[in-house]
Amino acid sequence: GHTKIVELLLQQNVETNAPTKNGWTLLFGALLRGHVEIVELLLQKNVKTDAPANNNLGFTPLFGASLEGHVEVVKLLLNHWENNQDQEGNSFPILEAETYDCDRHPIHGAARVGQTEIVQLLLEKGAEPDPEDSCGLTPLWSAADNGHDAVVQLLLSAGAEPNVMGLKTSRRPIHHAAQRGHLELVWTLLKHGGSATPESDGFDNAVPSPFTLACDKGNIELLELLLDHGANINYVNEASAIHGLHVAALSGNLEVAQFLLEKDTDVEIRDKDGWTPLMLAIEGDKPDLAEFLIQKNANVNSEANDGGTALLMASQNGNLNLVKVLLKNGAKQLPWKLGGGQTRPLHLAAKHGHLAITKLLLADSPEEINLPDCDGMTPLALASLTNKLGQLAVVGYLLKNNAKVTID
């Protein structure tokens, strides 16, 4: 940012467009740091303003200034270009100059980082509101993905398509806004023609619906807004069969789970792997949510497609509080059907060195202390496979409780 030194060097007619070994020119060095006076000096020397950086980023000066949010630099570049039209009279090809890798325009960069004033400037100078990059993504898509409501409103008012879908993704802007719990942003999209049910056109069945994704953040007002605009509370996508209750269970959103169950959602609804909401609450280590689901008649002994149960999962993962909740509510120490159907919760707890869980399971079913798993290994044998402290403690406890060292 040493303006006087730069001015002296420019008086000596130094080369202004030569890149460094990293591909940056003097103009890039100044504009990326927001040095307005130096950028102005360089523009007076007619440095190149439309050539991309000669490196793996490959963006143009205007893209870089837009991405960094340097409003005054953007104004300088636009005014410079306006005063130096090309021979065909096109004032602003600079607005469409693309990055080398993703074909992104400056307005993509400004929208992605929420630079409302710069987006406004670019639109006023004639930038298209809806250019697509090589992935089919528009500035609106990027702004919605990053939660920039003011930018989204600007782009929609300029005619941007609210339901744009990228070439490499089935997600629309509303998917991202809903997943992040951005109520105002979702409402903005809906007011401008965004669909609360993009899955209904047949292109989005690989991803969860906006309503399903919104169940992660616990914003009941957002869920009600989507339902008021036609969202299907019971929609599940083809790829994973994920329901909103699965999302709420995994993230531990008690309020959302209650909201869904009050609207007659099946507490035993299964995803493509046969996992129930209770199993996902176990996986997410959410004991309060698990207990709530059990109170709502979730089956503690349900089996997934591979035969796994909630108690097997909790025992393997070391979730002591969840094991307590399950045993208190009648969970049975059923064997895992996968691989022969002999592996039980006690085997998993012992193998992974979960001493407190081993004690609970053994107190619940002391007769299982010497049962072999599908490979003929007893809990003692499994705990003896490593010399880690947890496993050694389990070995000591099992021996103290008369576990057999050899099995007939």
pLDDT tens, per residue, the chain with 408 residues: 566 766 666 666 766 666 667 666 777 778 888 788 887 877 787 777 666 665 556 678 888 888 888 899 888 888 887 777 654 455 445 555 444 445 778 899 899 999 999 999 999 988 899 998 887 889 999 999 999 999 999 999 999 999 988 766 778 999 999 999 999 999 999 999 999 998 766 665 678 899 999 999 889 999 999 999 999 999 998 888 999 999 999 999 999 999 999 999 999 999 999 999 999 999 999 999 999 999 999 999 999 999 999 999 999 999 999 999 999 999 999 999 876 778 999 999 999 999 999 999 999 999 999 999 988 999 999 999 988 888 999 999 999 998 998 765
Handedness of CA 359, 363, 369, 373 (dihedral sign): negative
State how far the Cα of 188 lies from the Cα of 368, in Å rounded to an integer.
59
Does residue 134 lie in a domain region? yes
Question: How many residues are listed for the chain in this entry?
Answer: 408
Does residue 293 lie in a domain region? no
Sequential DSSP letters for 235-271: ---TTT---HHHHHHHHT-HHHHHHHHHTT--TT---
Does residue 294 lie in a domain region? no
Does residue 196 lie in a domain region? no
Read off the CATH number of the domain in which 40 is found.
Answer: 1.25.40.20
Q: Total structural domains in the chain? A: 1
Residue 133's domain comprises: 1-161
State how far the Cα of 246 lies from the Cα of 252, in Å rounded to an integer.
10
State how far the Cα of 349 lies from the Cα of 372, in Å rounded to an integer.
14
Q: Buried b vs exposed e over 34-71: b needs ≥16 C-beta within 10 Å?
A: bbbebbbbbbeeebebeebbbeebbbbbbbbbbbbbbb
Does residue 155 lie in a domain region? yes
Token pair listed for 287: 């004991």
336 in helix, strand or coil? Answer: strand
Does residue 2 lie in a domain region? yes
Exposed / middle / buried, residue 330 (Cβ in 10 Å: 0-12, 13-18, 19+): exposed
Does residue 328 lie in a domain region? no
Does residue 13 lie in a domain region? yes
Say what the pTM is.
Answer: 0.82
Match 């879908």 to its residue by tokens: 165
